[in-house]
């Protein structure tokens, strides 16, 4: 069980290739391996075009990899499933249905035998959870961008997916709405132990939301360079997160990667780099303390007395 939980999502050597117009193939990425334990919130960061959306679509079962496989909870993915909910950047709501109708449609697809009252109750509960109580009977065209995105989130969460997949879900929103929705998604996912894979371009968003941050190098032939374990405490809050002593340590590491190492990694791979096991990087004061404990000769006080 522990084995299955630590490899709850297991991406095993996947590739995405496209034929070139002039002949031959372009390899967007290949031999990509990544594991996500159950209940973890993982963000993927990388420059435009490196293949993040392709990875997410493969996880969703919307695209088939050119090579390799993805195993979720012990089963290979072979197509889309209500076990995996996707929140796209452009919400993808049914325009002719109300807010309630959009969420209820997903709920009744998931629980086909559920009665109308049950579907209604569940849908309303999730609509309320994302702060849309009172807007149940509005159509998508009557909503702001932020409200539409909330409907997308309510719809995804209402089906209790095994994994929640999000492709830059907040990027088109204003800063205030983005912050509020990040808070809500974090609150709900933490409370329910939801397993999440989310793509973002925003390093601050990743540090606030993610347990682990996956760094992808530039394409073509993109790679997972490393996985950064977020050193900030689980109970971090938006208003004070930037004052934590480790905040800029992790932020600078991510920005440095995006600015230069995402480009140079291929030619400067660390010794022993194995794409099957991308290194897990630990940063910040706790990691430093652990390193010190390993390197200071024991007993450290003896030499001071001599």
Ligand X SMILES: Nc1ncnc2c1ncn2[C@@H]1O[C@H](COP(=O)(O)OP(=O)(O)OP(=O)(O)O)[C@@H](O)[C@H]1O
Catalog residues that contact ligand X under the rule CB under 6 A.
Answer: 18, 28, 46, 48-54, 219
**Shorter beta-carbon distance to ligand X: residue 110 or 263:** 263
Residue indicated by tokens 């022993």: 272
Burial of 264 (0-12, 13-18, 19+ CB in 10 A): exposed
Whether cis (ω within 30° of 0) applies to the bond prior to 220 is: yes
Contacted entry of Mg ion, ligand X, none for residue 281, CB cut-off 5 to 8 Å set by kind: none
**Least gap, CB of 216 to ligand X (angstroms):** 7
**Contacted entry of Mg ion, ligand X, none for residue 49, CB cut-off 5 to 8 Å set by kind:** ligand X
Of 5, 27, 26, the C-alpha closest to 14 is 27
Instruction: Name which of 48 and 240 has its Cβ closer to ligand X.
Output: 48
**Min CB(50)–ligand X separation in Å:** 5
Tell me the β-bridge partners of 214. 44, 227
Nearest-5° Cα angle at 26, 227 to 266: 35
Nearer to ligand X by Cβ, of 107 and 165: the residue is 165
- In the window 49-88, what residues touch Mg ion (CB under 5 A)? 53
Size of the site for Mg ion (CB under 5 A): 1
Q: What secondary structure letter does DSSP report for 60?
A: H
- DSSP alpha helices (H): ranges in 193-283? 203-209, 247-256, 262-264
Of the two residues 43 and 99, which places its CB atom closer to Mg ion in the complex? 43
**In the complex, least distance from residue 52 CB atom to ligand X, rounded to whole angstroms:** 4
Cβ at position 40, least distance to Mg ion in Å: 21
Is the CB of 179 or the CB of 220 nearer to ligand X? 220
**Inter-CA distances, 62 with 16, 35, 189, 302, Å:** 13, 19, 23, 63
Q: Which residues contact 257 (CB under 8 A, 6 or more apart)?
A: 45, 215, 225
Question: Least separation, in Å, of the C-beta of 182 and ligand X?
Answer: 19
Contacts with Mg ion by CB under 5 A lie at 53
């Amino acid at each position: 069980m522990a084995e299955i939980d630590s490899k709850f999502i297991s991406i095993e050597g996947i590739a995405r290739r496209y034929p070139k117009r002039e002949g031959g193939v372009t390899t967007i990425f290949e031999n990509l391996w990544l594991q996500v334990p159950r209940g973890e919130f993982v963000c993927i960061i990388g420059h435009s075009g490196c293949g993040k959306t392709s990875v997410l679509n493969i996880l969703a079962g919307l695209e088939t990899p050119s090579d390799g496989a993805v195993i979720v909870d012990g089963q290979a993915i072979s197509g889309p499933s209500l076990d995996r909910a996707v929140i796209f950047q452009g919400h993808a709501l049914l325009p002719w249905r109300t807010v309630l109708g959009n969420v209820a449609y997903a709920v009744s697809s998931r629980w086909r035998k559920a009665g109308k009252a049950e579907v209604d109750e569940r849908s309303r509960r999730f609509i309320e959870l994302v702060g849309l109580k009172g807007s149940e009977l509005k159509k998508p065209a009557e909503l702001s961008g932020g409200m539409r995105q909330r409907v997308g989130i309510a719809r995804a969460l209402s089906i209790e997916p095994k994994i929640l997949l999000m492709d830059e879900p907040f990027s088109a929103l204003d800063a205030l709405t983005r912050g509020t929705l990040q808070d809500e998604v974090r609150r709900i996912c933490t409370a329910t132990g939801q397993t999440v894979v989310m793509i973002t371009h925003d390093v601050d968003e990743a540090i606030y939301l993610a347990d682990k941050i996956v760094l992808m190098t530039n394409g073509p032939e993109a790679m997972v360079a490393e996985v950064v374990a977020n050193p900030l405490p689980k109970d971090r809050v938006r208003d004070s997160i930037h004052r934590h002593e480790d905040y800029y340590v992790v932020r600078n590491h991510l920005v440095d990667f995006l600015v230069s190492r995402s480009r140079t990694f291929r030619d400067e791979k660390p010794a022993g780099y194995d794409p099957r096991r991308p290194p897990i990087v630990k940063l910040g004061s706790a990691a430093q303390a652990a390193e010190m404990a390993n390197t200071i000769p024991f007993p450290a006080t003896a030499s001071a007395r001599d």
